[in-house]
Amino acid sequence: MKLLTANFLACAVKGCKASASSYPLHFKDAELELQELDYQPVFLQNIMPRIDWEGLRMIANELGFPRLPDTKPEGDTLNDETTLRDLHRLLLETHVVEGKLCCGNCGHEYMIKEGIANFLLPSHLV
Amino acid sequence: MSRPEDTLYADLHYDDREAKKYTSSSRIRKIQSDMTHRALELLDLQSPSLILDVGCGSGLSGEILSQAGHTWIGMDIAPSMLDLALQREDEGVLSLMLADIGQGVPFRPGTFDAAISISAIQWLCNAESSDVSAEGRLRRFFEGLYASLRRGGRAVCQFYPKNDAQRSMISGAAMKAGFGAGILEDDPGTKNSKLYLVLTVGGGGLQGDITGIVNGMSDVDVLDARKTALGKGRPLSYRKGDKAWILRKKEQMTRKGKVVKADSKYTGRKRRPAF
């Protein structure tokens, strides 16, 4: 589970759809791993407008990364190589291998094993 | 031909043995890769994009997405298949998720540029217990998918419907969720016929959906039911007693086998006012 994916995930439980606190999902007992990956600036530039910066800052903070800038890099800052390299490392090379994703609204915990999050829900929560 | 959909649920059918068999069969690999290439052609993506692979299985289709330079997130319900996908060490895969697509698509709105699904969504028609229904599963899936795609995004779902009723149930559910839907059929009428449900999100009028997508492609015949439906939508302006009405009635009677006077220039002609 890369941090970029975590930035897109919201709680799947039916009652949480309307609630603002169902996003972002918070990591618990996370075990991190770094996997080197080819640097893809075009993809990053394409994906940046869709990233929820507040959610990313919150999660990065919880996982103990250095503080991210207050505002989302946009426009010209996106052409800056060091910014993009940093984002690449954070979003695409950082994996959560083991741990839990926890919803801030209902408290449901999604297990992560070998990097795969389990989003299967018991039928009464669907 | 036997359909695994008829006997078991996807997560039970694809156990370790079946998943290995599926992934190592060169015939299946060839068919899967052909279908993925076709789906990519229909998606017509211009730049490296973020794609959702619904029912990614062991990552056969994802491999081709990665080769094309895209990044993908895979969802599947069978743990054995995902296990094989993990061993594959694909550079383009962002994350794999164990999830049931019939329970919805748990991403926030506007996440993906496109979605792809190869031989998966017919499984949605299986309701595993009495508290879920096929319609409910289809509805949750398509509503979730619709929300998670960005405006102007597309989804291509290749599927094997059991019969025409299932085919229209699936495409109907997609349209109900708000998609512009169309079905592309490759090799129609043969044993190898393949159905692609092409879904579009937002805008473009009649050309905004599949008809616009296949416009430049050769060897595609377009059967558009909407134009005839549009024509039928306008009620014909028959007023009781006018010439068109009389002619229609006469034709009806002739068809019933009644004796009807021949049409002449006097049939249903206008008369001058009585006073």
Domains of chain B from N-terminus onward: 4-223 (3.40.50.150), 235-275 (no CATH)
Residues of B in contact with A84 (CB under 8 A): none
Q: CB contacts < 8 Å between A and B, how many? A: 84
Distance from CA of A36 to the nearest CA of B (A): 10
User: What's the confidence (pLDDT) of residue B205?
Assistant: 53
Residue in A14, A50, A98 to test binding to B, most B beta-carbons within 10 Å? A50
B67 inside 8 A of chain A by CB = no
Q: Is the pLDDT of residue B152 over 90?
A: no
Residues of A in contact with B48 (CB under 8 A): 40, 42-43, 46
Q: Which two tokens stand for residue A5?
A: 């994916």
pLDDT digits (tens, 9 = 90+) for B7-48: 777 888 888 888 888 888 999 999 999 999 999 988 888 888
Residue whose pair of structure tokens reads 């940093």 in the numeric block: A86
Walk along chain A (126 residues) and give the pLDDT tens digit of each residue. Answer: 899 999 999 998 888 888 888 888 999 999 999 988 888 888 888 889 899 999 999 999 999 888 888 888 887 887 888 888 989 999 999 999 999 999 988 889 999 998 999 999 988 888
Q: What is the dihedral of CA A45, A43, B143, B225, to 10 degrees?
A: 110
Cis peptide before A24 (omega within 30 of 0): yes
Q: Minimal Cα distance from A119: which residue of B? A: B99
Q: Is the pLDDT of residue B228 over 70?
A: no
Please tell me what DSSP assigns to residue B156: E
Q: Is the pLDDT of residue B141 over 90?
A: yes
User: What's the confidence (pLDDT) of residue A20?
Assistant: 84
Distance from CA of A67 to the nearest CA of B (A): 24
CA distance A16 to A25: 12
ipTM attached to this prediction:
0.91
Distance from CA of B257 to the nearest CA of A (A): 60
* Average pLDDT over all residues of chain B: 86
Convert A104-117 to b/e letters by CB count within 10 Å (16 or more is b).
Answer: bbbebbbebeebbb
B221 inside 8 A of chain A by CB = no
Residue in B51, B70, B108, B131 to test binding to A, most A beta-carbons within 10 Å? B108
CATH fold label, A3-125:
N-terminal domain of TfIIb (2.20.25)
Domain spans of chain A? Answer: 3-125
Distances (CA, A) of B247 to A17, A69, B226: 59, 79, 29
Query: Which segments of chain B are extended strands (E)?
Result: 50-54, 71-76, 93-98, 112-118, 149-159, 180-186, 194-200
CA distance B168 to B157: 14
